[in-house]
Each structure stands twice: as structure tokens, then as C-alpha cells.
Amino acid sequence: MKITQIVIISIISIITVNTVSAQQKLNPETEKKIDVLMSKMTLEEKVGQMNQYNGFWDVTGPAPVGGSAEEKYENIKKGLVGSMLTVRGVKEVKAVQKIAVEQTRLGIPLIIGFDVIHGYKTISPIPLAEAASWDLKAIEKSAEVAASEAAASGINWTFGPMMDISRDARWGRVMEGAGEDPFLGGKIAAARVKGFQGDNTFKSPSRIAATAKHFAAYGFVEAGLEYNAVEIGNNTLFNQVLPPFKSAVDAGIRSVMNSFNTINGTPATADRYLLRDVLKDKWNFSGFVVSDWASIREMISWGFSKDEKAAAKSAVEAGTDMDMESGIYLPYLIDLVKQGKVKESFVDDAVRRILRVKFELGLFDDPYRFLDEKREKETIGSTANHEAVLDMAKKSIVLLKNEKNLLPLKKSGQKILLLGSLAESKNSPLGSWRIAADNNTAVSVLEGMKAYKGNQLNFVEGPKLTTSEPTFLTEVNYNTTDRKGLEEAKNAAKNADVVVMVLGEHGFSSGEARSRTNIDLPGLQEEFLKEIFKVNPNIVLVLNNGRPLTINWASENIPAIVEAWHLGTQAGNAVSQVLYGDYNPSGKLPMTFPRNVGQIPVYYNHLNTGRPFDKDKNVFWSHYSDVEKTPLYPFGFGLSYTKFEYSDLKINKKLFSKGENIQVTFTLKNTGKYDGKEVAQLYIQDESASVARPVKELKGFQIVELKSGESKKITFNLTEKELGFYDNSGNFIIEEGTFKVMVGGNSESLISDEFGLE
């Protein structure tokens, strides 16, 4: 039912909502301790706290600064180092911590940072895969497991979670985030912060400080090209990019990392508006901001800072508190302050924030509290941790297609042929960003499937995936010429009842510095798939990838497709349990799969345009001439072995006053043969507003378990938080008008109703 009179007055009545974070209140006792300590510190020692060095083995960026190990040790001794990254293991961390605590004038402990992105040694699915579970409890648990292993290895602080919203699958780093949606991204960001930081008291030595990164808009790099510039308007910045960061700040996150990109011409590292006005002042963030690796120095290459000194000045004044691997604060900030070119208050603010987090982590009470070799041995790789990452891996799998009842596989009497280099890989499933993991420690799909002994299982590799073994620091070179193994695979396929093909990207094909212009199956894999299809069409395609892929031919022709990402240490067990039906998949895509690269950016929460449909049966409407404008697989999409039906959508009233609780109910029924789980999704559309709103926006989701034949009444409550949006000045507002409510199992198949707000 339309409520047009409300639409007419929609712009007149607007409420602005206060958005200051409640979670970042200061503890007066800690502040007093910081006052006392800072009153004893020299300017050199203060700037020293703002200096971070890389460790001695792992490199996660261009060549590290800071000189040899000896030089680094010397500077620690002089109190000129506040933090180190990628030092790991109790023994190694103790060695550097002892110098800071026992040999410096003031004994200020170091804070040890590390990229704990999806697990430490026991590896969870890549973050994008975890997001596909929509399971906040499981995601929190996964971060908790990662935190416990990292903490047991002496680490105090992780450079995660990444919460960059991205609509561009060419950008390799989409694997590290939660996909394209700010609502889902915000919930997942908060769950991860809770998993890493626990209740934010750090009483447990198994919790570590987390970092919201990359602030901000890194996911919008032009053309999906790594380290590129970002041009972005306020509407997208406030409504899409910033909400997950706000959610992390509200959850009490202790640090924020700059992004490499410029935003409308200003490097994020020097973006005073975002860092000081929004993050530190408006949101009340009380932790500290760390630069990204060399991002202060890179402002010179950007053509923003004329030299290192200018870069140091811009970064510190903007609110970048710690220098990661630019090596610029230490040599320049002291003089800049002494010469009156930078106010000492900027340095003091940075140091206070860094010391605050060190105090909160308990490092002053006991700098060795994370350094217990017994705990290190017992925690890392424990059975419980393996169980947790297996659970997470199963929940992350998305069933994209299942025809001819190919899945689940029968457990006996079948001849199964397993194909593809990725099927036997024990390295690729660990994905990118798993620096502490030992190579080749994942359970492969081959190993996982061997555990099911009722069938005859045959494995043939087929054409090699790559020409050399990929690593974290080098490009992945796909095989595009050598067809050796193809004939053997074809012959084997002729005799199989079902062919399971594991294809996709190697784990090191996504992540930092892995942008691609072509997101088809790389190398010879599509040809391999087509050749096998000619001799046996009963194919289950298991995809391994860190980003959406353009798999049009497969999607049209292959009867069963399982999205299995890079699922971590327990990958092969998770995939096999899903293939054999011991686990009924329930994952839903957190990112749209395009039909081709030319559609990018393609995302579900777009604006309508003025000509969305072909209403006049001529060419003048918003479309492409050569391909449908719809995605290949939409956001929120994912099947189950069972079927779900949505009906009976009701809203408790037709017209609401502001502040009233809006209740949306509907019936969800499992109409299929299997028990299963469904991620029920709720979207709204603010039909007319002072700033045009998307055609739909996710505003709620619930995971519902239903036995075969069972149905349940599901309720969602909508409040002003879900109905409002940010105006172009960054104020959160709620406007009167008509709202469409949609519910369903993905962002396209939805049932709907409407209500008015006055």
C-alpha cells in the first residue's frame, strides 16, 4: 500500500542523531599513570614511542628501514623504538622486550604487532569466506582462536580486521574483508574486534589489541589497481566506507591503520579531517593510529610532500601516531618540534594514545605476560583450535548450483574422479596473509575425500596450475601452455560416475598487490573444464578463490558448483563433509559475482537511475548492449541441499511515528528433504529522501535452523538506526516517508511490503 502523503513531507522533518562512541571512555587512573610517565620523558623518548621497526625475518612490504639487527637493538636500548612488527615466538619476542624493559632509561615495554589476519598458525578461512557464513558467533570464535595463538606466541596486537568495503573484484585485497555491504561489514567488524579483544579489559593474556584498517576508502582504489588513488563522494564515504570503522570504534577497537591511497587528492595518512575530526573527535576514538608500511614516506611519491621532513609534519599533524617502516618520525620530528615547526602537543597526543594501549594491555604491570613458553606449546595448533577452524570452514562454503541431484554425493558404490592441482594442494588452501603458518599444512581436498572410504576415489592432476611454486612475495605464474596430463584426465573421466574438479585461484593470487584485470579461471583451467565436460558432464566444480570470479560458462553448463574459497588448515575436511552431505551448506555470498569485468563495479545496493527499466520498448534505458546488467550471482545468494520458502510477510502497523518499534514478521519453511540452515535477510528501501537512497539496503539477518518440513515465524525489529542514513556532511539523519521492506534468501528473490514513517 502506498502512503504518498508521507513521501511529500519527507524532507521537511529530519532528526540528527548523536553518533559519539560510548565504548571509548578513558580510565582516570590510567590517564594519571600516563601523565606521570610522560612528565619524565624526553622529546627523543616520546618520538621513540612513535617509531616502529619491522622484525628480522618476515617482510610484508618493500625493503624494511631501520638498518641491521644490531642497529635496531641499539635504538631499542636508547628508548627510540616503541613497537616492532613481525617479531614472533616467545623466545624472540622476549629477546627484544627484555632490552626495552631492562636496558632503557624508563623501561617502557614495546608493543609487538603482527598481521594475524585469518588465524595465526592454525589457519581459518580467508576473511571474505568467513563473511560468507554470516555467522557472527563463529566469526568471533575464529578471531578468538587467532588471538589466543598469536598471544601465546608473544604478540600483543594484530593488524586486523580489515574492514574495507569493496565493489571491485579486481582488487586482490577483497579476500581480507567482509565484502561489499556496510551493514554486514559493520556487524562482522564488531564480531572480529570482540574475538580479538574479548571484553576489552585484556585481563586474559589470550586477547590482543585489534586494528581497524585501512582508514579509509582503500577498497575504492581506481580500476581495482593496488595502491591507487581514490576519488570518492561524501555519500559513498559516509554511508558505505565509514560505517564498519564506526562499528569497530563502538566495539572498543584499540588501533586504526591508515590506508595507502589518496582520497580526493590527500593521502589518507595526512587526512586530518578523517583522522582528527571524524575518528578522534567525532567518534571519540581513544586508541592510536598506525601508518601503513611506509605510507608516510610514500606521500613524497604521491607528489604531496616535498621531502621526508614535510611528510613527517603532515602525518603527525593529521593524527598518524606511529610510523610503520617509513623511518621518518625518528630523524625529523624531534627537530621539527624543537624548531617550533610542529607543536609538541601533536607528539604528546600520539604518545599518550600509544602508552594508553600499552597500559591497557597490562604491559607495564608485566611486560612478560604474553611470554610463556608452556602456554605457547599448549595453545598453538591445539585440537580445539583445529575443531574451531573446521567449523568455520564448513560454515563459509556457499553452494552456487546443484542440478541433477549431483550433491550430496552418494557415500558408496560410486566411482569418483578428483581432478586439478588445487585438489592435492596443501599450501594454496591456506590462502594469502598467513605469515606464521607453516607451508603445506592444510588438509587437501584429496586427503579429505580419502576419509570417505565407501567409494572408489581416483585422483588425476591434469594440466599443472602454475609453472612454479607460488610464494607470498612473488607473482603467481599460471600455466598457459603445457597441456600434459589432459589426456590422462579425460580418459579417467570417461569411467567415472562423478567428476569433482577443484579449480580457481592459487591462495597467493589474492591479497595485497594481487590486482587482476581478468577474473576468469586463470591459466588452462577453463579449457580443462570444457574438455572434461565433453567426455563426462557429471561435474562438481569446487571453486578455490579469494575474490568473485567470472565463471559464466561453468555457471551455465556445470551442474554443481561449490564455492570453497581458501578455507585454511582444515579446508579438505570441510569441503569433503559438504560434498558428502555430512554438512548442509548455508553460506551466502558477501560480494556480487559479475558476469564480466566490464560490469565492475556491480553491487546490490546501487541507486536506481532515472531509467531503470525498458518501459518504452526502445533502447533508451540504463543497460548494456552486450550483456545483461544483472550479476552472475547476487549478493546474499547461496543454496542449500534443502529448500526454503518465505511467506506471510507482515508489518505490525502501516504508519509509525519516529522512535516507535517497527516489527516485521514472516514465515520461513523448510520445504525440502534435508534439515538445514537459512540466512534470512531483510532489506529496506527508503523510497524518496533528500539524498537518493539505494534500491535496497541490508538491515537485518538471522540464521534459522529448520528441520525438513518445519516452519517458523521470524521477527525482525527495525529502529531508527536501520532507517536513517548519513547526509553529505556526515550527520546521521532519519527522514519521514515510505519505506519498502523486503525479506528473502538473497538480495534478488524477495517478498515485500511497505510502511510509512511520520
- Helix (H) or strand (E) holding 373, with range, is helix 373-379
Residue in this structure with the C-alpha cell 622476549, named with its chain if needed? 94
Q: Are 96 and 84 in contact (CB under 8 A)?
A: yes
Nearer to ligand NOJ, 159 or 739 (CB): 159
CB of 159 to ligand NOJ, least distance (A): 3
**Beta-sheet strands, E only, within 155-210:** 157-158
Contact with ligand NOJ (CB under 6 A) among 45, 92, 115, 531: 115
Nearer to ligand NOJ, 214 or 566 (CB): 214
Does residue 512 touch ligand NOJ according to CB under 6 A? Answer: yes
CB of 60 to ligand NOJ, least distance (A): 3
Contact with ligand NOJ (CB under 6 A) among 53, 245, 288, 293: 293
Does residue 159 touch ligand NOJ according to CB under 6 A? Answer: yes
x/- binding map, residues 118-157, to ligand NOJ, per CB under 6 A? Answer: ----------------------------------------
CB of 432 to ligand NOJ, least distance (A): 11
**How far from 498 is each of 425, 463, 490, 560, CA to CA, in Å?**
21, 19, 13, 11
Does residue 183 touch ligand NOJ according to CB under 6 A? Answer: no
CB of 296 to ligand NOJ, least distance (A): 13
Residue 510: Cβ within 10 Å count:
28
What type of residue is 287?
A: G
Q: Is residue 214 reached through a cis peptide bond, with omega within 30 degrees of 0 on the bond before it? A: yes
Contact with ligand NOJ (CB under 6 A) among 11, 19, 61, 486: 61
x/- binding map, residues 203-242, to ligand NOJ, per CB under 6 A? Answer: ----------x-----------------------------
Does residue 262 touch ligand NOJ according to CB under 6 A? Answer: no
Number of H helices, E strands in the chain: 24, 27
Marked catalytic residue, from 164, 292, 323, 727: 292
Q: Are 321 and 333 in contact (CB under 8 A)?
A: no
Contact with ligand NOJ (CB under 6 A) among 21, 51, 60, 670: 60
What type of residue is 446?
A: L
Nearer to ligand NOJ, 115 or 135 (CB): 115
CB of 526 to ligand NOJ, least distance (A): 31
* The Cα angle at residue 434 between residues 431 and 439, in degrees rounded to 5: 80
Whether 292 sits among the annotated catalytic residues: the reply is yes
- Share of the chain residues as helix, strand and coil, in percent rounded to the nearest 5: 35, 20, 50
Rounded distance between C-alpha atoms, residue 126 and residue 161, angstroms? 11
Q: Are 635 and 603 in contact (CB under 8 A)?
A: yes
Does residue 292 touch ligand NOJ according to CB under 6 A? Answer: yes
Nearer to ligand NOJ, 292 or 563 (CB): 292
Total residue length of the chain: 758
**How far from 487 is each of 39, 44, 527, 609, 689, CA to CA, in Å?**
76, 68, 12, 50, 61
CB of 153 to ligand NOJ, least distance (A): 16
CB of 172 to ligand NOJ, least distance (A): 11
What type of residue is 594?
A: P
- Helix (H) or strand (E) holding 742, with range, is strand 737-744
What type of residue is 347?
A: V
What type of residue is 261?
A: N
**How far from 47 is each of 57, 64, 105, 108, 433, CA to CA, in Å?**
25, 19, 15, 13, 30
Does residue 323 touch ligand NOJ according to CB under 6 A? Answer: no
CB of 555 to ligand NOJ, least distance (A): 32
x/- binding map, residues 2-41, to ligand NOJ, per CB under 6 A? Answer: ----------------------------------------
Does residue 514 touch ligand NOJ according to CB under 6 A? Answer: no
Binding site for ligand NOJ (CB under 6 A): 60-61, 115, 159, 213, 292-293, 512
Residues labelled catalytic: 292
